[in-house]
Chains A and B, each alone.
Chain A
Amino acid sequence: MRTIETVKIVETVRDLVMRAAVELGDDVLAALARAKAVEPSPTGAEILERLIENAAIARHERIPICQDTGMAVVFVTLGQEVHIAGGSLKEAIHEGVRRGYADGYLRMSVCDPLTRRNTGDNTPAVIHIDLVQGAELRLDVALKGFGSENMSRVTMLPPSAGIEGARDFVVERVAEAGPNPCPPGIVGVGLGGTMEMAAILAKKALLRPLGASHPDPRIGRLETEWRERINCLGIGPQGLGGRTTCLAVHIDAMPTHIASIPVAVNIQCHASRHLSADL
Chain B
Amino acid sequence: MDAPVRLQTPLDNAAVEALRSGQRILLSGIVYTARDAAHKRLVAAIEAGDPLPLPLEGQVIYYVGPTPPRPGHVIGAAGPTTSYRMDPYAPALIARGLKAMISKGARGSAVKEAMRTFKAVYLAAIGGAGALMARSVRAAEMVAYPDLGTEAIRRLVVADMPLIVVNDVHGGDLYVEGSAAYRLPFPSPEKRLTSLPPV
Contact = CB atoms under 8 A, between A and B. Distances in A.
B153 interface: no
Contacts of B135: 57
A235 B64 contact: no
A107 B180 contact: no
Contacts of B128: 51, 54, 65-66, 147, 182, 269-271
28 contacts: A38-B195, A41-B178, A43-B164, A50-B132, A54-B132, A57-B135, A63-B73, A66-B79, A66-B128, A67-B65, A67-B78, A67-B79, A69-B67, A105-B76, A106-B68, A147-B127, A180-B82, A184-B195, A223-B199, A227-B196, A228-B188, A232-B186, A234-B180, A238-B104, A238-B126, A241-B174, A243-B182, A271-B128
B10 interface: no
Nearest to B67: A107
Contacts of B104: 147, 179-180, 182, 238-239
A209 interface: no
Name the interface size band of chain B. Answer: 35 or more
B179 A236 contact: yes
A43 B196 CA distance: 20
Interface in A188-244: 211, 213, 220-221, 223-224, 227-229, 231-236, 238-244
Interface in B1-43: 1, 22, 37
B106 A179 contact: yes
Given A105-B67, A271-B128, A42 B77 contact: no
B196 A58 contact: no
Contacts of A64: 67, 76-77, 130-131
A179 B130 contact: no
Contact of A180 (B67, B106, B180, B181): B106
A3 interface: no
A239 to B, nearest CB: 5
A153 to B, nearest CB: 15
List 6 A-B pairs, minimum CB-CB distance, nearest first: A241-B178, A234-B183, A35-B195, A182-B127, A234-B182, A213-B199
Nearest to B68: A105
A236 B174 CA distance: 12
A118 interface: yes
A232 B182 CA distance: 8
A231 B193 contact: yes
A276 interface: no
A28 to B, nearest CB: 11
Q: Name the residue among A54, A105, A116, A271 with the largest chain B CB count within 10 angstroms.
A: A54
B196 A248 contact: yes
A231 B196 CA distance: 11
A3 B10 CA distance: 63
B178 to A, nearest CB: 2
Given A46-B1, A147-B82, A243-B193, 15 more contacts: A38-B194, A54-B128, A63-B130, A64-B77, A65-B130, A66-B79, A105-B76, A106-B67, A147-B104, A233-B179, A234-B180, A234-B181, A240-B175, A241-B180, A269-B128
Contact of A51 (B37, B129, B180, B188): B129
A147 B79 CA distance: 12
A226 B140 CA distance: 44
B139 to A, nearest CB: 17
A119 to B, nearest CB: 11
